[in-house]
Structure 1
């Protein structure tokens, strides 16, 4: 744990008692803060109290007595409307921050030059975070990995000389971290997402830009117009920028060509690593993740041999293009984390013969943007609330059935894929939807897919099939 000593003796209101909120409360208490924690969910309050977290009803509290409001990232700061605690804090002139800001203050107080890389972007954050962390660990660096990827940042070991912190940072967390100042900041991509929480694409992009603008070195993947403009602005302001591309050769930076990662310096290119054969890094989107990880690793002083070894041993993440099993020529891939069309496009682009399971609670735009990938889809199996809308989009272009439930979709897709004569057929869960209509989160949806796939006769798990 990282005790929040920067709040020692201060009166702190904390709202949001999910996993990160409870972790933050424990950090604040360990650091000597006087905490009043609350949640709109009575069960969450009771559970926090049972675990020893000091609770207090913030509805009736004297807000003039608080020095700060610590807000969990899932609680609206601005859109669609500020949460009621935000309104009370602003009226009382109380600062509003989150767990990433607390981490940043603790690092600044104790070891401000300790290596800290923060990763943001619309898609690919978790894989890139995990890959950077894996490269560092495999090169025997003392490495802590967390943030939005899983382990709350304040539950990691504290900063110290020679200890690397590799932290995934969401736009929600960035909104609450005005003092973030990483050694290396990474911006992967920006596409419309979470606009219900940020209002407009411009505001959402500006929040992402804050991270790299505050970094000593900015690593920016420049394959979309927004990130290209960010890199240009940073360079014009005198910032150190490393550009990354999977679409074009760069004179300076890191790029991917024909499945190979190159580092370019003043027009001269050096081969760093080949991605072919690394199943966990299949697809153009993972080529971007790998190139960014290589760029960060080089800046942290890893050798080319260390980078190649790390890439070759990376197993990937659950629910992100995860090859869970195989039966003959049929591969079962769990991409439950693809909760929007842009994320699903990455998986659809990675395979040629797809039996696609899609649906859930749709986000704005549906799957119209995926039409270019429809020729890769042998058949679609539609589930959840979005099934009828998705069926209308697929129309006569892609054969489909409305399966309704995930279990029915898996059984039907596996049966159809078994009859496919292609060299490789893929039963792919890449829903392009949130899970909330049938599952509490994408992890539970992915776990259900994995269990159902491995329960089929003749399916070997990925370790056995490797």
Structure 2
């Protein structure tokens, strides 16, 4: 646990008592701050009481004495409307921050040179964050991983000169971190997402860009126009490195067939590792993730004066992958079952469909997002049959009509059973039963993790299944 000494003796309001809010309240309390915590939910308040976190009803509190409002990232800051706590804070000139901002201030106060790698992007940031952490640990280094993946940042061990913090950051978290200044800032890609929270894609991209602008060294994916523009703006301001899974770069990191290559301005290149045959890094999108991870680690080690002569191939080949993201969970004979429950939008599902050229038995649906699956039409020829679940079933059926055979399964258990039977009858070399919903889970499941675990359990119950251990 990191103690928030930067707020010692000050009164701080904390709103939103989920995992990160509880951690922030405890860090502030243990660091000597006077905490006024609140949540609209009774269960969350009860959980705080059980952890000896002092509660204050912020709707009737005097805000004039608060030094800051620590806001949970899921609470609206600007769109569709600012939350009532945000309005109260602004009326009283109280700064609004998040838990990662507390970490940033503790690092600046106690260990300003401590290595800090921050990762963002619309898609791939969880895989990239996990892979960076894996590479560092494979090299025997102390790597702490958290933020938008795994543990809240303030529950990690504190910053030290030889301890690496590898932190995934959503746009919500970046928006609450005004002094964000990582050693390496990684920006993977930008596609339309969370526009209900940011208004426009340009506003969304501008928030993502802060991770680049504030970094000692920026590592930027340039396979979309937003990333390329960010790189061009960053280069005059400070050190930056580009990576691309689509084009050869000099200088920069790129793919030569399946091999990660780093080239200097003169075109002299070094091969660092191959992705060929690594199931957890299947697909071009994972090529971008792996490039970003290798670039971040290599540039960070170089900046710190550490050796970059690592066993890159061993680290890449031993990467266990992430649950619920292109996770190969089992086989029945030649049929492969893949859990891609984390694909909550069409852009993410596109990456999954690109990874399998044919014989795909696709389970999709849930709570639909704007645009549906129209953008996936170029990949429909890869799909043998689709199985529709949840609220999106009727909408998706209209999109697939006349293009892809489909079944309105309704529920995940019906879809798994039907897809498994159909795939086992396939004459294809490796039929794939793919759960890649292109939807949020909230109509039938609490979150995508619960949806993915349900899929795993249903697959495990199939006759003849040989399951793979979870990452």
Please give the TM-score of this superposition, normalised by the length of structure 1.
Answer: 0.98
1:15 corresponds in structure 2 to 15
Equivalent residue in structure 1 for 2:337, among 328, 332, 338: 332
Aligned counterpart, 2:454: 448
SS of corresponding position for 2:96: strand
2:124 is aligned with 1:124: yes
Give the corresponding residue for 1:53.
53
Residue 463 (structure 1) shift: 4.1
Q: 1:328/1:304 Cα in 2 relative to 1: closer, same or farther (>3 Å)?
A: farther
Q: Deviations over 1:213-258 (max 9, x none)?
A: 10010000100011001001111x3321110001011111000121
Q: Deviations over 1:177-229 (max 9, x none)?
A: 00010000000000000000011111100000011110010000100011001
How far off its partner does 1:124 sit? 0.4
Contact 2:3 2:27 in 1 (8 A): yes
The match for 1:101 is 101
Q: Which residue of 1 aligns with 2:110?
A: 110
Partner of 1:437: 443
Q: Which residue of 2 is the match for residue 262 of structure 1?
A: 261
In 1, the alpha carbon distance for the partners of 2:83 and 2:405 equals 44
Alignment of 1:380-459 (within 5 A): 380-459=386-465
> How far does residue 42 in structure 1 lie from its aligned partner after superposition?
1.7
The equivalent of 1:37 in structure 2 is 37
Kept in 1, the 8 Å contact 2:139–2:310? The answer is: no
Q: Considering only aligned residues, what root-mean-square deviation do their CA atoms show, in Å? A: 1.2
| CA-CA distance at 1:304 after TM superposition | 4.9
Which whole-Å CA distance do the structure 1 matches of 2:335 and 2:190 have between them? 33
Tell me, what secondary structure is at the counterpart of 1:412? helix
**Residue 240 of structure 1: aligned partner:** 239
Q: 1:51 Cα shift?
A: 2.1
The match for 1:253 is 252
1:443-462, CA deviations, whole angstroms, 9 ceiling, x for partnerless residues? 00000000100110111112
- Ranges in structure 2 where 5+ consecutive residues have no aligned partner: none
Q: Which residue of 1 aligns with 2:354?
A: 349
Cross-structure match for 2:145: 145
1:54 offset after TM fit, Å? 0.9
For 2:256 and 2:444, locate their aligned partners in 1 and report how far apart those are by CA, in whole Å: 41
The two structures have a TM-score, normalised by structure 2, of 0.97
* Uncovered stretches (5+) of structure 1, i.e. residues with no partner: none
The runs of at least 4 consecutive aligned structure 1 residues that moved more than 3 Å come to: 301-305
Q: Deviations over 1:356-376 (max 9, x none)?
A: 000000111000000011011
Aligned residues of 1:272 and 1:304 also touching (Cα < 8 A): no
